[in-house]
């Protein structure tokens, strides 16, 4: 995967190239808007669309794409609720199965990508991130970077490096509401190990007992608030 800092960026791909692009987004207005922006930039591009993870997988397994543009908050299939975790899981699987694929993640929840930062860093294809609040011109710059095999992930370069078991503790505690005892049983770990994970997590997030006591705040609640702010949990 190329480093964007060492790459001379052209604003457009060669005119002779016919691009195959897949756009994954369940919000019709945004999907249409994204399609229009890309089609305007690349009038000869063949653009497919998918609104769910199931539709996306069907498209990807039947066709090859120069670029996949995807939101993170998508439903698993028709009639279900869009969830960030669905998009994260889909992206994680695609990164593993298609190491050369180019991706542009266009989402309002880009911080959630910190959960799979290791997989993103190891990816060999292009990978760029574009918050949905970006202007069209900035989004197209990121799209072009991804098409050229470059990397643009500064939006998640926040220095947080959570081990998988720490992230699992956060999810079990705050997304499933489990106690430490139940977490230890689910993870096949001792309660002491779970308590150690909490200290590691809180140290990483900058949540300390003395500060919470001085401010009269609950340490567990502050941990949850900060974890959500950093996109570690939904």
Q: What is the pLDDT of residues 126-165, one digit of tens each?
A: 898 998 888 888 899 889 888 988 888 877 755 566 788 8
Residues 101, 28 share a domain = yes
Reference 69, options 53, 86, 49; nearest CA is 49
Residues 107, 17 share a domain = yes
- Report the distance separating Cα 234 and Cα 227, nearest Å: 9
Residue-number span of the structural domain to which 67 is assigned: 2-156
Tokens of 37: 């922006």
> Domain boundary at 107, 130, 156, which?
156
In a domain, 29, yes or no: yes
Residues 71, 125 share a domain = yes
Residues 147, 63 share a domain = yes
In a domain, 120, yes or no: yes
- Report the distance separating Cα 67 and Cα 103, nearest Å: 6
What value does the mean pLDDT take over residues 102-118?
A: 88
- Report the distance separating Cα 145 and Cα 135, nearest Å: 16
Share the mean pLDDT of the chain.
85
Residue-wise pLDDT tens digits, 160-202: 667 888 889 999 999 898 999 999 999 999 988 888 888 878 8
Tokens of 36: 């229009």
Query: Tokens 């960026």 belong to which residue?
Result: 9
Our count of domains for the chain comes to 2
In a domain, 234, yes or no: no
DSSP code of 80?
S
Reference 224, options 175, 182, 158, 162; nearest CA is 175
Residues 130, 22 share a domain = yes
In a domain, 184, yes or no: yes
pLDDT at 32 over 50: yes
Residues 38, 137 share a domain = yes
110: pLDDT confidence band, cut at 50, 70 and 90?
confident
pLDDT at 90 over 50: yes
Residue-wise pLDDT tens digits, 2-19: 333 333 333 444 444 689
- Report the distance separating Cα 92 and Cα 106, nearest Å: 15
What value does the mean pLDDT take over residues 101-122?
A: 88
DSSP code of 114?
G
Report the Cα–Cα distance between both ends of the chain, in Å, rounded: 29
The count of other CB atoms within 10 Å of the CB of residue 126 is: 26
Q: For residue 69, what are the CA distances in angstroms to 7, 19, 190?
A: 21, 13, 42
88 contacts 116 by C-beta, under 8 angstroms: yes
Residues 100, 42 share a domain = yes
- Report the distance separating Cα 129 and Cα 217, nearest Å: 35
Beta strands in the chain (DSSP E): 2-3, 20-24, 46-50, 67-70, 103-107, 127-131, 150-152
56: pLDDT confidence band, cut at 50, 70 and 90?
very high
């Amino acid at each position: 995967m190329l480093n964007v800092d060492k790459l001379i960026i052209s604003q457009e791909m060669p005119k002779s190239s016919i691009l195959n692009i897949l756009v994954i987004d369940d919000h019709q207005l945004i999907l249409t808007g994204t399609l229009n922006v890309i089609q305007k930039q690349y009038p000869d591009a063949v653009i497919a669309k998918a609104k769910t993870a199931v539709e996306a997988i069907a498209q990807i397994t039947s066709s090859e794409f120069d670029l996949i543009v995807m939101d993170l908050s998508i439903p698993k299939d028709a009639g279900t609720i869009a969830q960030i975790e669905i998009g994260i899981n889909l992206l994680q699987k695609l990164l593993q199965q298609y190491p050369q694929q180019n991706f542009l993640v266009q989402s309002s929840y880009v911080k959630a990508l910190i959960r799979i930062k290791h997989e993103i860093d190891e990816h060999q294809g292009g990978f760029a991130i574009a918050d949905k609040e970006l202007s069209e011109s900035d989004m197209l710059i990121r799209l072009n970077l991804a098409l050229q095999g470059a990397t643009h992930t500064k939006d998640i370069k926040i220095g947080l490096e959570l081990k998988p078991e720490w992230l699992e503790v956060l999810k079990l505690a705050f997304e499933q509401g489990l106690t430490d005892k139940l977490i230890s049983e689910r993870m096949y770990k001792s309660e002491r190990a779970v308590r150690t994970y909490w200290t590691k997590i809180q140290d990483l997030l900058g949540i300390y007992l003395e500060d919470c006591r001085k401010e009269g705040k609950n340490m567990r609640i502050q941990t949850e608030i900060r974890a959500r702010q950093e996109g570690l949990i939904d």
